[in-house]
Structure 1
Amino acid sequence: MTDLTLELNINSASDLEYVNHITKMNVYAVVTLLGDKKIQKVKTAVDRHGGSNPNWNHAVKFAVNERLAREGRLTLVVGLFSGRVLGDKDIGKVEIPLVYLLPSTNGNSNGHGMKFVTYQVRTPSERMKGSLTFSYRFNGVAAIFGPVHQQGPTSWAPPPSQNGYGPYPYMSQPPPQTGYGYEGPPQYRKNEERLAKADLLVSAVSLLR
C-alpha cells in the first residue's frame, strides 16, 4: 500500500477547562499519530496569552501507512496541556481514528484542499469541556480514492422522489419490480400467489351475493 502524507494545521481551541487555580494558563498541544511501529509526535508552540482560548496555527506533517489507516489501526491524538513551573497540567485530549478522516470528506474547504473540523475535548475526568479546531488534508488521496466529493451543508436535503425512495441516508432502494410486486425468495412469491387467489375467491363470493 502507498504511504500518504497527512498535513495538519492545529488552529485553535476554545472554552477549555481552566486547570490553573492562580496563574494564567499557557497552553500547548502535543499531536501524536499512534498505531504504527514508529510513533510520530509533534509539540506546538505555547500560547501565553489566550488562556482557555488558545491559538497556534501550527503546521504538522505525518507519514501515513495507507493500509493501516484504511484498516482503522491508526489514531490521531491531540493532547492539550498547561505549561507550569511545578509541572505541566493535563487539560484534555481529542482522539480520532484516522479512518474517519480518510478520505478527506469532512468539514469546509479553505480553497487549498484543507478541511476544517472541530472536535470536543475530553478532560482527564472523562467530561466533555471545550473544543479543538484543526484543518487537514492527505497528499495523494485523490490518486488512490478518486476525486474527493464535498458533503452538502447540514441544511441541505435532496428533493423528494415520486416513489418515496431516493438518495436519503440510511434508506435503501426498493427491490426490483415484477408482476407480483417484487422479486424475492420463492417462498415470498408463493405467499403472494396465495394472497392473489384468495382475493379472487372473495371477489367471486361477493358477486354471487
Structure 2
Amino acid sequence: MESSAQVLEIHLISAQGLKRRTKNYAIVWVDPSTKLRTRIDRTGGENPTWNDKFLFKVSPNFLSGETSAVSVAIYAAGIIRDKLIGTVRILISTFLHTSPSSPMTSPAFATFLIRSPSGEFFGTLNVGATVHNAFTGFQALNKASAIGYHELAGDNLAGKHRSANKSKATVRDVPESIPSDSPAHQSETSDSLMDQSITDVSLKQKVRKKKKKFWINLRQLHAICLSPQI
C-alpha cells in the first residue's frame, strides 16, 4: 500500500421505508470498477439490516475533495433478475471532517435519503464511516483497492469484487427456490423422471421373469400329469 494512502471504512448499517417486503442487499463503491456487496437481508423486509463493513484504499486528495463521494445502490433480490430499489450518493466533504492535522478519532454516523430510479425520495439509509491512518491489519489492500470484512474473515460471499462492465442486477446470491421454467429445474426434473423410469423398468423386468418362471413350472407340472403311469 502506498505510504500516502489511507483506509476509508464504510459501515452499511440498515435502511428503513423501502416500501416493499423484499429480500434486499446493497452495493457500495468508491471506484465503479470495484464494487462490493452486503449480505442479503432475508427477514427485515422493508426495513433491512446488513451491518456490513467495507474498506477502501483512498488518497488524501479524495478525502479532502469537495465532490468525492461514496455510492450505494440498494437492490431487491429476485428469482430471475434483481430490481434496483434506490441509490444514495454520500459526499465525503459533508459526511467526514478530516484533515492531515486533525485525523478522525471516532466513527461518524449519518442517515441519508434514498432516491428511487424515478428520482423521488422515499426511505433512509443508515451509514457509518471511519478513516484509518495506520495500515496495520489491512495488508489485503496491498493487492486490492477495496475489500469487505467478510472477505477478510474468509467468508465465501458471492459478489466480492464486481467489474463496472457487469450488470449490478446480476450480483446476488443463488435464489432459495428454482423457478419451474428454469433450465436448472428442468434438468433436476429430468433426472428425477429418469431415476423413476429406471426403477419402473427394473420392476417390470422382475415381474416378467417371475411370470416366465411361473409358466415354465406350470408346463412342467402339466407334462407330468399327462405322462402315462407305470
Give the structure-2-normalised TM-score.
0.51
Of residues 137, 147, 151 in structure 1, which corresponds to 2:130?
137
Of residues 70, 77, 96 in structure 2, which corresponds to 1:76?
70
The 5 Å alignment of 1:6-45 reads 6-18=8-20, 24-34=21-31, 39-45=33-39
Secondary structure in 2 matching 1:61: strand
What corresponds to 1:160 in structure 2? Answer: none
The structure richer in strand per residue is: 1
The letter of the residue matching 1:26 is: K
Please tell me whether the aligned partners of residues 25 and 74 of structure 2 are also in contact (alpha carbons under 8 angstroms): yes
Of residues 116, 127, 152 in structure 1, which corresponds to 2:109?
116
The structure richer in helix per residue is: 2
The 5 Å alignment of 1:36-185 reads 39-103=33-97, 113-140=106-133
Q: Which has the larger radius of gyration?
A: 2
Separation (CA, whole Å) in 2 of partners of 1:80 and 1:113: 27
Asked if residue 4 in structure 1 is aligned to residue 1 in structure 2, the reply is: no
What corresponds to 1:164 in structure 2? Answer: none
Show CA shifts across 1:166-190 (max 9, x none).
Answer: xxxxxxxxxxxxxxxxxxxxxxxxx
Separation (CA, whole Å) in 2 of partners of 1:94 and 1:115: 17
Separation (CA, whole Å) in 2 of partners of 1:39 and 1:88: 20
Separation (CA, whole Å) in 1 of partners of 2:61 and 2:84: 32
The letter of the residue matching 1:31 is: V
Separation (CA, whole Å) in 2 of partners of 1:98 and 1:87: 32
Please tell me whether the aligned partners of residues 113 and 121 of structure 2 are also in contact (alpha carbons under 8 angstroms): yes
RMSD: 2.3
Show CA shifts across 1:109-158 (max 9, x none).
Answer: xxx811211001000010000100011111129xxxxxxxxxxxxxxxxx
Q: Which runs of 5+ in 2 are unaligned?
A: 100-104, 135-230
Give the structure-1-normalised TM-score.
0.56
Secondary structure in 1 matching 2:80: coil
Identity of aligned residues (%): 28
Which segments of structure 1 move beyond 6 Å, counting only runs of 4 or more? Answer: none
Q: Which runs of 5+ in 1 are unaligned?
A: 19-23, 106-111, 142-209
Count of residue pairs the alignment pairs up: 127
